[in-house]
A = this chain, B = another copy of it.
């Protein structure tokens, strides 16, 4: 799991009080980290600090001798709380001086500001740490700075992602060392079982690291190059995918919904949904895929029983005899959806998401699913853990899983053998 010791280490620092106070989610940290990992660095930490020069100086003083590369984003702008330049200069023991070239290039930005005070602040961005290589902004006004020091490299990049991104590319240039990771996505098995299967497949191979990511019924396996190279990484990915078998639905980074939409489009099949407890989440997931109109006809969110009857044609007798949360209702919903939506394959969900509505016979988390294809209709029940959101999310994944299974079954369509 741990990268090979040979990878140069890196640390990422994102600066901004809005990040440590949790008011904004940081997107730069993960993006910079992923870019550095893909380039072959072993990212040892991603840290958010407030706009506090002492905290930044203290962090950098400790981090500088430990990492080949440190990337800092944010705090390079013109306002009083942009303190990254000063803090980094202190940590390096260097001085800040005003760069004449930058000063001139900032002229137009100064002129745009309403007041002399605001204009003067813009000029702070011309302050450069001794020995810095300047990364010229293609967008915005804040230049980046790259500092070589005795232990490695320190890069200061602006916080706005669209300004940061091109500079990060300039910084890394051809410093990439490693192949991009391979991602195997699975459904239907617990995290620990997937781990054992992957461990088995990778036994004996070296220079390959892997990570398991689990969420709401889905488990992703990330295989990384730890020095083995592209070919060995491909071999390992094939071996792991073979070991995972049917559990693995994607080896190219596609999401579950993307895999379903593409499989249906390829086979010329139209999908439909009939949702009660998931309330539109299955349809949302499918229509989130660009180009889903090629495969998705539509859906019915049949929350009220009257809608289950009026649109999907679930009979009152079925609802009265078995209840809305039952195999019979789920089957009638899925078959009704096929008919009224003109779909080849339709999936239905009806369950108790909670927190209210449960009973001893049908507790919160009870969800019935049905899938109707030209060949057959099939129902199954799951007891899903979690709060309302958790039950709905897991039920959505389970419904997508049924669509996937139907699309893998040649008999599911009648037109594909």
Which residues does A use to contact B, with CB under 8 Å? 1-2, 17-27, 29-37, 43-52, 55, 59, 77-81, 112-115, 117-118, 121-122, 139-140, 160, 162, 181, 189-193, 195-196, 211-213, 215, 222, 224, 270, 273, 275, 277-284, 286-288, 290-293, 296-304, 306-307, 310-311, 340-342, 354-356, 385-390, 392
Contact between A113 and B192, CB atoms less than 8 A apart: yes
* A340 in complex: contacting residue of B22, B34, B311, B385, CB < 8 Å: B311
Name the B residues within 8 Å of A122 (CB-CB): 192
Question: Could you write out 29 A-B pairs with CB less than 8 Å apart?
Answer: A21-B211, A22-B33, A22-B43, A25-B27, A33-B48, A45-B49, A45-B59, A46-B48, A47-B47, A80-B195, A81-B212, A114-B189, A114-B190, A117-B196, A118-B190, A118-B195, A139-B385, A160-B215, A162-B386, A273-B280, A273-B301, A279-B283, A279-B284, A290-B354, A290-B356, A296-B303, A298-B304, A299-B301, A306-B342
Q: Tell me the bound Cα distance from A33 to B364 in angstroms.
A: 31
Contact between B297 and A195, CB atoms less than 8 A apart: no
Contact between B280 and A284, CB atoms less than 8 A apart: yes
| 11 further contact pairs, Cβ within 8 A, besides A122-B192, A162-B386, A300-B311 | A20-B46, A25-B27, A25-B30, A118-B193, A279-B280, A280-B283, A280-B284, A284-B284, A293-B304, A297-B303, A306-B342
Contact between B47 and A81, CB atoms less than 8 A apart: no
Tell me how many chains of this kind the complex includes. Answer: 2
Contact between B34 and A23, CB atoms less than 8 A apart: yes
Contact between A17 and B1, CB atoms less than 8 A apart: yes
Nearest residue (CB) in B for A122 is B192
